[in-house]
Amino acid sequence: MIDSFEIKIDTTNSAINETTSNNSFLTYENNSTLGIKIQYPSSWERLEYDNEGVLFLSPSESNSDKFLESFSIRVTPSNNMSVSELAKESIDNDGLQYTHFQLIESKVITFNGKSAYLLKYTFTDKLFGNGMAMDIGTMNAHKAYVLSYFAEPAKFSNYLPTIKRMIKSFSIQNRNEIRQPSYLDLL
């Protein structure tokens, strides 16, 4: 069962501000197919896929680093599902896609002024090994937006300040208007 509450990012946390202020961020904007805008670290690679989303990959930390931390945004038709149905579908799909899928947290939140879900889970990927992820899913104008963060479990917290900044900057564009999201406290 999904618990319901609203969460906010604490932007007064000096560790977050120090970590993210040292990074240069670029703005990604796609009005034509995705209708989104977000800031991302300039050192991260950006890949668009199938007019359904965009993926941001962290730089490799070493030659042996096989798990690049990532943040993606996927936009699909919502099929008139509720947020709870969207969350259940996501959990079911992740459970089928990954071995050793373990749901850690499942909550209904307010994001971008709309009802959304937040999932945290661990998994094993056949190619990359053990991972930890966080998904935020919401709907707007008959579209579902799923923001996903993937990291090695030991590095999950290290990248969280950058991910929080990206989430804070995310907006869905409607009729040339940019709507600001609610802030999220993901800890």
Q: Is residue 185 part of a domain?
A: no
Total tally of structural domains belonging to the chain: 1
pLDDT value of residue 23: 62
Q: Is residue 186 part of a domain?
A: no
Q: Is residue 184 part of a domain?
A: no
Q: Is residue 44 part of a domain?
A: yes
Q: Which tens digits make up the pLDDT trace of 88-110?
A: 999 999 999 998 999 999 999 99
Strands 53-57 and 171-174, bridge-based pairing: unpaired
Q: Is residue 39 part of a domain?
A: yes
pLDDT value of residue 174: 67
pTM score = 0.80
CA proximity to 56, closest of 162, 168, 181? 162
pLDDT value of residue 6: 38
- CATH number of domain containing 87: 3.40.1000.10
Q: Which domain, by its residues, includes 68?
A: 3-179
Tokens representing 153?
């479990």
Q: Is residue 167 part of a domain?
A: yes
Q: Is residue 118 part of a domain?
A: yes
Residues of the chain short of pLDDT 70, as ranges, are 1-23, 174-187
How far is residue 109's CA from residue 98's CA, in Å, rounded to a whole number?
Answer: 25
pLDDT value of residue 157: 96
Tokens representing 8?
């906010």
Q: Is residue 187 part of a domain?
A: no
pLDDT value of residue 153: 95
CA proximity to 169, closest of 33, 50, 71? 71
